Amino acid sequence: MLKYIYKALTPRYSIVVLLAAALALSCEDTITFEVNGDDHYQGTEEAYGFLRNVSTSRTSTAFDLGNDSPVFIPIYFGLTKEVDENVTVSLTADASLVELYNTENFTEYQAFPTTLVTVPSTLTVQKLHKNSMTVEIEIAPDPTLETGTYLFGVRATTSSQEITLEEESRTLYYFVRVIGDIPTNDKPGGIKTLCYVEVNGNNILNVGQYVLEDTGEQFFDHAVIFAANPRLDPETGRAYLWMNPNVRNVVDNPEIYVRPLQRKGIKVLMGLLGGDDVAGLASLKDDALRDYARQICDIVEHYGLDGVDFDDEYAGYVHPEYPGSGTQMARLAIEVRRLMPDKVLTLYEIGAGTNMPSTVDGHVMADVFDYSQQVYYGSWRDNSYIGMPRARYSPTAIWVNSTAVSTYRNHAQRIVDGGYGFFFMYDLNAVDATDYISEGSEIMFGQKVKLSGELYGKDW
């Protein structure tokens, strides 16, 4: 049974609430589409060089840094064509790049101390090869650093006359989210989990009550507040983000419903649900798209959330002036990613999410989003519509206490056997689900789960 069939039965409210907050510093007016990958160089006879992360083609990535363990980031240097000599590339962690980034993007990120960053001094692409060997950047923890997001950049230079090295291809940016003593919840096998919570009737705090029985890590890594909706103001024609009273109560009381989860290492996302209005996630263009992306940015920054989930589930796009398009939804996500490079973006693959091109305006959509999940409960889909790699894709959707246990166990085993790194569940409520969740947890993590405290009912 589909989630959207169930959600159509949940109460909807008619009170319009529009957040009136100053634009966050990271939200600027212009939209610029960067070019990732090698498409930019097709048709040229020159050999171009590019510095890349192994895991993504994005030129800016984010990660958490605790107090105990260093973080290792694999990178390599590539060429668009082989050349007749060895190409030696020098790498440096350049503090001036932070000032450059802040100036170009109207941001005020603090520089991460480069004394804590170890970068290999050189990379070499051997003669008649296109890629160097993979090396690792090491980022060391420092308990004296205040929590928050920091930034540093790594730049590549070369004296080789055989290659052309453009500015946008020679630099990688890293957003370091210093989390201090907050646990990283790195479970055995490395599988990450996400749960939607229908806050119209349930308390999101229950996501933080399920822990692995032996080692104590949180079972859930992400919690989605379900959900805010795009609406169109009939008088001004402006699209805005609308939140019903239940969603508003959660975000208006972050110390009660958000911070306790974050202190447990759980990232809290705002769900963006295309509703029964002409302004859907896939119908906005140009100024309206940029304005709506800024509003999303405002809400995430204002309430201290960790990101957003895109769910184009209800919008019918019946208005001729607002047709739905997978490409337009992709552009909205690209702009949100540009405004929030250090936040988590996830995609519920439904509606426009099923016809979104894998590459839009030079952006690989599987790199714009951090994770994506299929939507049909109890079913299995091997491949993501946007080409999300297995390490960041959930091919299954499990409805807590509703999907058959045999199906849940079977899919958990297929997650492990297939090398998938993401697992999606829906509709956690105040009913004890330890026995049910344990059926898959034993397979994925080698442990059952237990409650770390009492479950919460809706208390507002």
Tens of pLDDT, residue by residue over 225-238, are 999 998 888 888 78
**In contact, 11 and 385? CB cutoff 8 Å:** no
Query: Is there a cis peptide before residue 24, judged by omega within 30 degrees of 0?
Result: no
Query: Quick one: average pLDDT of 204-215?
Result: 97
The per-residue pLDDT for 263 is 96
Residue 416 per-residue DSSP state: H
**In contact, 297 and 329? CB cutoff 8 Å:** no
Has residue 33 got a pLDDT over 50?
no
pLDDT: is 95 or 169 the higher one? Answer: 169
Tokens 């992400």, residue?
A: 222
Tokens of 32: 């610029």
- Write phi, then psi, for 104 (nearest 5 degrees): -75, -25
75: left (phi over 0), alpha (psi -120 to 50) or beta: beta
Name the burial class of residue 308, with classes exposed (0-12), middle (13-18) and buried (19+) by CB atoms within 10 angstroms of its CB.
buried
Q: Could you please report the per-residue DSSP string of 328-388?
A: HHHHHHHHHHHH-TTSEEEEE-SGGGGS--SEETTEEHHHHSSEEE--BTT-B-SS-TT--
Within 10 A of 389 (CB to CB), how many other CB atoms are there?
A: 15
The per-residue pLDDT for 419 is 96
Q: What is the pLDDT of residues 44-76, one digit of tens each?
A: 678 999 999 998 888 999 999 999 899 999 999
* Mean predicted lDDT score pLDDT of the chain: 89
- CA distance between the termini of the chain: 30
Helices 405-418 and 434-445 pack at an angle, to 10 degrees, of 20
Percentage of the chain lying above the pLDDT 90 cut: 78
The per-residue pLDDT for 41 is 53
Residue 22 per-residue DSSP state: P
Sheet holding 117-118, edge to edge: 49-53, 71-79, 135-139, 117-118
Sort strands 344-348 and 307-311 into parallel, antiparallel or unpaired. Answer: parallel
Residues that are catalytic: 313
Percentage of the chain lying above the pLDDT 70 cut: 90
- What residue type is assigned to position 185 of the chain? N
pLDDT: is 160 or 370 the higher one? Answer: 370
What is the reported pTM? 0.87
Angle, alpha carbons 406-410-411 (nearest 5°):
120
Has residue 267 got a pLDDT over 90?
yes
Name the burial class of residue 147, with classes exposed (0-12), middle (13-18) and buried (19+) by CB atoms within 10 angstroms of its CB.
exposed
Has residue 94 got a pLDDT over 80?
yes
Tokens of 366: 């599987």
